[in-house]
A and B are shown apart, each in its own frame.
Chain A
Amino acid sequence: MSVQDRYISLVAACTLLGASLSLPAEQTSEEAIAEYHAMFGDENPAELWQLRGEELWKTPRGSRQVSLEACDLGKGPGVIAGAYAELPRWFEDTGKVQDLESRLVTCMTNLQGLPESEVLAVKFGDGEQKSELEAITAYVAAASRGSRITIPLDHAAEKAAYALGESVFFYRAGPHDFACATCHSESGKRIRLQTLPQLTTSEGAQAAYTRWPAYRVSQGELRTMEWRLQDCLRQQRLPQLTYGSDVAIGLTMYLARNANGGEMAAPSIKR
């Protein structure tokens, strides 16, 4: 037997050994987790937020006693179907690029006449303290289920928001010298059992962006993109991200544009 033959038979033996080891169809933990997720079926507690959001959307409130049904999310007053899939975008009336949440704050304060302090009092719900913004975001986002993400990046301000988001994404800072890109610019990275999406690619950005907002099982709460981003920065030990800030909207724009063409499937259910 030549050295080469011996090498080949060794490889063959190893391959066989590998095959016999995997034969009893032991599930990988990833498959088992997928099965766990499948058991939730269509029964997502996010619907409880959607219900509450719908009520809040349709109820006349604030000093002007009007509902949010005249709120323009970019597709005309009151149009919510597909609106989330086209945000963030430039708004003429505010002269700003806005994501859904900052736009809702605009409508609640300008249109309904609710005090901004009241609107922003509970940005992220916690147990009995419920967030109106999370509920309305869930309701509006659900109306984009099945819509394709369409971020044309036509306006100069939209391009600028994307550029800002991109630079923040790659900006290393904080005590751990961390950037979003540290975890999210390569494929196959993971934390514990969670595979981390490669957000610099279309595929990775779509997989992530199309599934937010999400019902977070570990918190028993519906969470939005604003929550997701401020928690990413917290995990990086960076200063607290300001709700609706240029940086928050820039990062959202960066992710949304990278996910362009993806089919919205939110609210989803996550670990």
Chain B
Amino acid sequence: MPDPMRIRAVMMGDVVDVKILMSHVMETGQRKNADGDLVPAHYITEVTATCKGKTVMKAGWGPSVSKNPYFSFRFKGGAKGDKLSITWKDTAGGTRTDEVTIN
């Protein structure tokens, strides 16, 4: 199972400031290992964020997002105590969902 994300969701005025770190190799499929073999591509393709049933962010990623990705965005309509859920999916069928409480 993939490792958990580290998500921070903090109110800044009426805006929720979201900062996410994800644990992922983000292999491009173009890198060779020490034996000279191509390392197969393995990267996150989709990230979605939902708060109170509403999609507040949807992102499509390619392999050029850095390893162990960092992603930050801001949205309105959330409040302290609300839950924010983040989900990623990758090229190998892997997926991970984590939830945090906005504070």
Contacts and interface: CB of A to CB of B under 8 A. Distances in A.
A and B interact physically? yes
Interface of A: 43, 45, 47-48, 51-52, 127-128, 130, 220
A52 B4 CA distance: 8
B19 A43 contact: yes
Given A51-B3, A52-B3, A220-B67, A45 B21 contact: yes
Contact of A43 (B25, B27, B70): B70
Nearest to A215: B68
Interface residues of B, number: 16
A127 B70 CA distance: 17
Contact of B6 (A48, A127, A128, A220): A48
Contacts of A43: 19, 21, 70, 72
B30 interface: no
Given A43-B21, A47-B6, A51-B4, A220 B27 contact: no
Interface of B: 3-4, 6, 19, 21-23, 25-27, 39, 66-68, 70, 72
Nearest to A128: B25
B25 A45 contact: no
A122 B21 CA distance: 23
A51 B6 contact: yes
B92 to A, nearest CB: 10
Contacts of B19: 43
B31 to A, nearest CB: 10
B34 to A, nearest CB: 9
15 contacts: A43-B21, A43-B70, A45-B21, A45-B70, A48-B6, A48-B21, A51-B3, A127-B27, A127-B39, A128-B25, A130-B3, A220-B25, A220-B66, A220-B67, A220-B68
B20 to A, nearest CB: 9
